Amino acid sequence: MPSETKTISITLNDLAKMIDVSLLHPTMTDADVIKGLEQTIKYNTATACVKPASIPLALKYLSPFTTTSPKICPVIGFPHGSSTTTTKVNEATECLRLIHESAPRQDDVKHEIDMVINIGKALGGDWEYVENEIRAINDAVIQEGGILKVIFENDYLQDSHIIKLTQICASVGVAFIKTSTGYGFVKLPDGNYNYKGATLRHLKIMREHAPPSLQIKAAGGVRTLDDLLRVRAIGVTRVGATAGPVMLEDAQKRGINNDKPIEVQVTFEDGKELGGGY
């Protein structure tokens, strides 16, 4: 039996602008990336999330940029967050400068950086290190005309870590906090690996402890339109997904378009989580 139902008002563009098309798998060839960039353009999503080496391709296919067109979102310190702070700062700076060499900065066009925290430092309770690193990278990204999303990698963390990281990011003033990389596999006792990514429970914790100005990105776990609607209903404004086109095509089949907002009922069932996977 459903435990809770919420009603939200949406358009197709609202949903498209929630999606960062994920083009991050290590086996992706240039042809694979190009296919993803073409989907980014076709569906007019928020960004294409790419590895730094793919920035030239992203520039070729996505520029020129406007306030409403998809932006480029490179990842840094990815996926394990183990680089030094200086390396992460330099990587973020290099990525944004490379973009702006071909697409000059505009005050109303902000490209984005997704960075991974130093997970071991967080687990060890070295919060001064974690905060100083986030602040240094955020300062560098803002200086270069971008905005920062901070990846926690929740699969490795306890609730207390997630709450503390949310509070730190709020204090620093970053734009987004993000659940996962999509590659945070946890080794199980039998030797196999498991990965959850974003969960409704963790997203609710992040939203509860974040001020309204701090946006939340769910990565991993959002693979269906129903998943997308659920996370939107609890205050998530961005998702990282490879299944974006499928979700948006399903939305059109259900009558969600850009003619006018429609009201959609979103159901949360006891114990039912997101679909899992990236």
User: In this predicted model, what pLDDT tens digit does every residue of 206-245 receive, in sequence order?
Assistant: 999 999 999 999 998 898 999 999 999 999 999 998 899 9
User: In this predicted model, what pLDDT tens digit does every residue of 109-139 receive, in sequence order?
Assistant: 999 999 999 999 999 999 999 999 999 999 9
Residue 35 has pLDDT above 90, yes or no: yes
Annotated active-site residue 114? The verdict is: yes
Q: Of 71, 88, 196, 217, which one is the catalytic site residue?
A: 217
Tokens of 131: 């905060």
Show the DSSP H helices in the chain as ranges: 12-16, 30-43, 55-62, 85-102, 119-123, 127-143, 159-172, 200-209, 225-233, 244-253
- Residue 2's pLDDT band, with cuts at 50, 70 and 90, is low
Annotated active-site residue 178? The verdict is: yes
Please give the average per-residue pLDDT across 36-58, as a whole number: 97
Q: Of 20, 114, 155, 227, which one is the catalytic site residue?
A: 114
The three-class DSSP label of residue 203 is helix
User: In this predicted model, what pLDDT tens digit does every residue of 78-92 receive, in sequence order?
Assistant: 999 999 999 999 999
Q: Of 88, 178, 196, 227, which one is the catalytic site residue?
A: 178
- Residue 275's pLDDT band, with cuts at 50, 70 and 90, is low
